[in-house]
Structure 1
Amino acid sequence: MKTTIYMLILVLFTGACRETAKTNKANLIPDNEREIVDTTNLLKIPWRTDEKITLGQLYTDTVQFVEFNDEGDNWLAIVAKNNDTTSFIYDSEYNFVRGDEIEIRWKVDSIRYAGDSEFLDFTEFLISAKKLKPLQLQNKEIKFLWRETIYDKQLEAEINTIVLNEEYIRNITEPEKAVLAYIATFIGNACEWDGRANNDRSNLKCKILWALDLGYQCSHKHLDFLRFWFRNEEEIKKELMNCPTTPDGATVQDTFDEINLTVDENRIAVSFKVSGFNLRENKSWRWAETQEFEFKESELWLLKKERSPKHYEAFEVRGN
């Protein structure tokens, strides 16, 4: 009898061990192996909608570079093809500019995002990229800025204001954008504090930079953009270290009256007219200037500056 009971217990114990072993073996399967089946079918690239994307497989595409976005936990390279855009996580140094035609090699792999390490996801990774065809500037002559007199309902008076070529801005190339942002850095263009001025003067909103999507005057976005484009122009980088924050209404200031831009192959010329004043000394002035740049290998070089002599005039400030 004891022997029978012992054998029964042994059989039950052995069976339980086998079931436990099966359970433990299932638990040893990595989460990503169980999730692959459920999630990879959802992975789609806009220009590859008719095919299934396989985890870990290398793909090659010819695309147009749009921009880098390095503000998040992962660096993103954003590209476009057939009017569709998508982003890839990358970790190498590239000097592509918007409009470059590039060849990319990429794959889909697993990722655990910072702050949520328990969650396993899948996304696109850029493995390598090379430039096939650099951005080609199109010859053009553009009237970028001018002044108009308009009626201001709040002031109930006519005012003279800066007007920008918004249609041109919508399709502007990055080199042209950099040239205009550079000259706008040092000359007033309807600059006003966005609310109350911060103690560090970091919220000055200038019309040209804002229209070019470069943020506040002297912000990191503004200066980093120019430092990239003029990365080998030491004098310009020194100038940027003294980025001014002068709002409209300052006692002494300059402002644009006109800006014209010309593109001829890889040369960008910008000519502008400026007027200024010193309220303390009751003195005004005006001058004209032309600057010429060369766009070469994804950067800009300043070729020359030509400025006319300043023409001064005295004026009287009359009370009401």
Structure 2
Amino acid sequence: MRILQLFLLTIFLSCAKPAEKTPVSSEKKLKTVVILEKKEKLNIQKDTLNFVDYNDDGDYMLLNAKKDQSDFSFINDKNEDRTLLKGDLIEITWKKDTIYISGDGETPELAEWVISVEKLKDGKVSVFRKNYQKKLKYNWSSEESFSKDYLDKLYLIVEYYIANTKNVMIKDAVSKKEQLEYSIEEQTRDGKKYTVVGISIVFEHRVNTLKWLYLDQDNGNKLYGYDLPNDQLVNFE
């Protein structure tokens, strides 16, 4: 009897069909793709800001911009364009992605990565260049030593001042397309070091200085105009 039971059990097992795997429906696959695409789109943002400058000196290249009184920095490694000038109105599209902080155990951190940048409107510096159509000249004493990178950055700072100043003499020189130039030197004032710039025009072989500027390198390149009658520095935004 026991042998008969074992025989019947063997026949039953051999006839049983293996369980079939239920295939994932194409509808479920489609839903998964749609969800991923929605997450990617939600990660992408866009806004209108005023361009400030490029900073390519660190581990990551940066594009700095401003909106109202707030400052913003974007990772700019995948964007090779460097034609924007301070004050240009831009539309920037970016997404959150990971960067790794060197010197901190390569710690991952979320940051805003530039996807695209479009200039919407010329700022005052761009307008100044189009209208003035001359390069600013500059000079410094042989006793001073400045790197090319620093001179290039200083040029943009002085150019920004000229394009935005309310100084009547400078505005008059620009409108007449007189050749503007500036001197560069290092000075110490109240125990602090400044780069001092003298904006001038040369008339009949005489230098006529129109404005003195003081640049505080240790404070984010903060720029001051020199108020001669009151012997004080006035912040220039």
TM, length-normalised to structure 1: 0.34
Q: Which of the pair has more CA radius of gyration?
A: 2
